[in-house]
Structure 1
Amino acid sequence: MKVLVLHGINLNMFGKRDPKQYGTVTLDQINDQLGVLGKELGVAVENFQTNFEGALCERIHQAHHDKVDAVLINAGAWTHYSYGIRDALSILTCPIVEVHMSNIHAREAFRHHSVLADIVQGQVAGFGVDSYLLGLRTAVNHARAQKG
């Protein structure tokens, strides 16, 4: 089983950007923790980060061709306005779980809305790195249930 983890715009700056909201963990450390959990769950985890919206859409298209079993996505600020990413994700037939390090519902009003929300399996937000780990567990559980 293969899970694709998509990290969107500015997430390469974890550990440097606004530690009050995001903590001091780096993206590499998050990816390492996802890899360890993936091994425990018996799944391959592939990570992809970009600051270019088109590149993220291209990677989602590739995920469709590769028939990945589940997708975990933190689209960053694109969560709130990128219909292009939303439309690309809607092509997928596998479970998609949206994650956020911070609680987007307790922040600025523009962050309260996710254009991805109606096409994802669910959302995990506000638990820092644990949002990713809970999201991975959830994505794997739903992918296994989908396969029967």
Structure 2
Amino acid sequence: MHSLLILNGPNLNLLGTRQPEVYGAETLDMLENSCIEHAKKLGFQVQCLQSNHEGVLLDAIHAARGQHVGIVLNAGAYTHTSVALMDAIYSVEIPTVEVHLSNIHAREVFRHQSYIARAAIGQICGFGTQGYLMAIDALVQKLTQSSDVS
């Protein structure tokens, strides 16, 4: 069975308690379980990882090569600052979908810039935790259309 990596960046460990009016009431554990169950219905396994440290996220992207056929990435605030994460996505050549709980384009101007979007096959934002399931669907569709998975 093919595997996807669900990778979450800084502060996403605080889901459910951090600004629920912006990020919702669902916890990270609840979100990860939803992703695992959703992907399973599509015939994919999921590995989830969250870190507040950029280097850990970089290492996870590098380690994904040969282990995962796709990545769903919410880089949190690193979205707007990390050329290193963008370069890592380019380097491993694994289809990646960028996801955000809030609509980053409707928020502060500094959040409108995404380095991740330059390397990702697409971006989903503003749909809360449902966006992760949408990202999985989009990634699976892209992978099966391109014959990267059979």
Total equivalences in the alignment: 147
1:12 counterpart residue number: 13
User: So what's the TM-score if we normalise by structure 1?
Assistant: 0.96
Counterpart position of 1:42: 43
Task: Give the RMSD, CA atoms, in angstroms.
Answer: 1.0
Instruction: Could you list the structure 1 runs, at least 4 aligned residues long, displaced by more than 6 angstroms after superposition.
Output: none
2:84 is aligned to 84
Question: So what's the TM-score if we normalise by structure 2?
Answer: 0.94
Measured in 2, the distance between the counterparts of 1:97 and 1:143 equals 12
How do 1:123-138 residues align onto structure 2 when only pairs under 5 Å count?
A: 123-138=123-138
Equivalent-residue separation in structure 2 for 1:85 and 1:119 (angstroms):
9
Counterpart of 1:131, as a letter, is G
Give the aligned partner of residue 27 of structure 2: 26
Please list the CA deviations of residues 92-142 of structure 1 after superposition, one character each: whole Å capped at 9, or x if unmatched.
Answer: 222110000000011011001101111100000000011100001111111
CA distance in 2, matches of 1:2, 1:91: 19
Contact map agreement 1:7 1:49 (CA 8 A) in 2: yes
- Could you tell me which amino acid in structure 1 is paired with residue 21 of structure 2? K
- Aligned sequence identity (%): 41
In 1: Cα distance, 2:74 partner to 2:98 partner: 6
Could you tell me which runs of 5 or more consecutive residues in structure 2 were left unpaired when the two chains were aligned: none
* 2: CA distance, partners of 1:41 / 1:50: 26
**Partner Cα separation in structure 1 for residue 32 and residue 120 of structure 2:** 21
Deviations 1:61-90 (CA, angstroms, capped at 9, x unpaired):
1012x2421100000000001111111111
Paired residues for 1:94-133 under 5 Å = 94-133=94-133
**C-alpha distance in 1 between matches for 2:64 and 2:122:** 19
1:54 matched to 2:72? The reply is no
Tell me what 2:72 maps to: 72
